[in-house]
Chains A and B, each alone.
Chain A
Amino acid sequence: MTVALTATGLTKTYRTLFGGSRPALRGLTLTVPRGVSFGLIGPNGAGKTTFIKVLLGVVRPTGGDVSVLGGQPDDLNVRARIGYLPERMHLPAALRALDFLRSIATLKSLSPTDAELRRSLERVGLATDSQRIGTFSKGMRQRLGLAAAMLGAPDLLILDEPTDGIDPVGRVEVRKLLLEEKARGATLLLNSHLLSETERVCDRIGVLHDGTLKLEGSLDDVRRVTTRWQVKFAPGADASVLEAAGFVGGLFEGDVDELNAALDEVRAKGLKLVSLSPDSKDLEQVLTDVMGGSAS
């Protein structure tokens, strides 16, 4: 497995003005394989933005190791292969979209033609290049930031709230773009509060809470509920027999042993199992469960 980024025992403690300290990351360990779309979720203050800043070399870790695309975040050759969309884009108000994109391309040592830059703008749904950025809506700024991040077909795209301020139709377009980037082979690291968006784009999820990674795995794994099962029996099954064994409304609550005992019981009475799968929950529930677990 080739790896896009790894963090081992990563810690970051911010010093406050009067000599105090505020830990943001507490020994974060994570590996993201190349070519996956990884969703980082967690409540405010969980350390998601700090982690992203560490990956970009904007914030220096207090301890631990981090490697991005096989190198250090400070390595300019590594950074040349990263596209980044910050959470709060601060764009030069006096420039036009095309000027801004040209400037980013130049700093990335790329030399696209104006036609190519216009195509990049069109790709994110920005057809205008006569308006100054200062007059852009939040959604337009976000689209421009996305175009800048995708310039030069980077190997790793780090996107902090990519659909923030974008209308529902625009979100669909952005999602399509992200999936195109993934299909191209880029690794996506997505930090979004819109869990439904994360669910639709990402195939791996990490739940960050209080500076530590509480849960990590494939989308199916983290959503899977190991104590609740969806079961379906052949038509004509006696509902009272099923209920007596614990199968209510097509669901069974219990661990694997309990499930098998219940199945043996109903099968002994002639009922036939058609399908069985672990029940799944949405990311909102995953996050709530993780935070609830941490709180208790």
Chain B
Amino acid sequence: MKQVLRVAFDLLLEARRRRWFLALFVGITLVLVVLGFSLELEVVDGALAGSKLFGSLLFDDIVSADRVLSGVYLGAAYAAFYGGAFFLAVACSDFAPELLAPGRIELLLSLPIARWQLLFGTYLGVLVITALGIAYGAAGLSVLLGVKTGLWSATLLLGSFVGLAGFAAIYAVMVCVTFFVRSAAVSGAAGVITLVLGVLASYRESLMTLMEPGFGRTLFSWVMLPMPRLGTLATVSARIAAEQALEPEVVTRMLMGTGVFTFALLAVAAWRFERMDL
């Protein structure tokens, strides 16, 4: 386990020096700073009055602060899920292919590290980067809104971390694909395609009713069957952030399904890696 953590830490060190991740953290910081200076929120008796963004009134009426924050958190959670998944699918697309690059993989495998440790360490490292991004963005926004409104909530952070499971599944596909085709472009494309298919899988039943019965519909149902319901997971994440009612069984089932998908993909990747001549 120590070696897995060491590989993950190593990846964090490398990511720290990359422009993509500097851009991610600078981008989040900029959004928070701009919001911090341009957003004026006044809460009077639990209601927002005279709230301004860049000097313009946000609402003509007096609205409940809870409702507004809930809406903001809902939007932020959706944005973090889809925007984050897309950005990270592109930004992290070359980690696994780089790992297998000729001249690097031989060096890594000559060290006292097992192949599975390299694979899981790399995977864990990317998830930690993602988690740090989420923690920074979600916690930053929560603190900002908390300071401005006096209403403190950790639901955005919690909802975003549930959403992390979605990226975990996407990145498992990206890693797995790399062990069959070593290409950052293919890995990134696989991530984006998984995101799209995962959203479609959430609406599988309703989409199938629009299709004519036959081969196409059967193929669609088979392709969708193993896919994690990423659209539903995004909704779950957003609803947690917005403190909307959810059935715990739905959340558990969603997370377990995504977990099984993720582990299955990682198992295939590990199986392939163990048998590879490099």
Contacts and interface: CB of A to CB of B under 8 A. Distances in A.
Interface of A: 14, 53, 56-60, 76-77, 79-80, 82-84, 86-92, 94-95, 99, 103-104, 106-109, 132, 145, 148, 158
B110 interface: yes
Nearest to A82: B110
A109 B114 CA distance: 13
A90 B101 contact: yes
A99 B16 CA distance: 11
Q: 3 closest pairs, A vs B, by CB?
A: A90-B103, A94-B17, A84-B110
Contacts of B275: 60
Given A58-B106, A107-B112, A109-B112, 5 more contacts: A58-B278, A59-B277, A76-B112, A86-B106, A107-B10
Contacts of B108: 107
B277 A56 contact: no
B278 A53 contact: yes
Most buried by A among B13, B18, B107: B107
A94 B104 contact: no
Interface string B94-118: 0000100111111111111110000
Contacts of B109: 56-58
A91 B6 CA distance: 17
A58 B105 contact: yes
A76 B114 CA distance: 7
11 contacts: A53-B106, A53-B278, A56-B106, A59-B277, A76-B112, A76-B113, A82-B110, A90-B107, A95-B14, A103-B10, A145-B107
Contacts of A87: 103
Contact of B3 (A14, A56, A88, A107): A107
B17 A132 contact: yes
B9 interface: yes
B7 interface: yes
Contacts of A95: 13-14, 17
Contacts of B113: 76, 79, 107
Interface in B135-191: none
Contact of B6 (A79, A80, A106): A106
A133 to B, nearest CB: 10
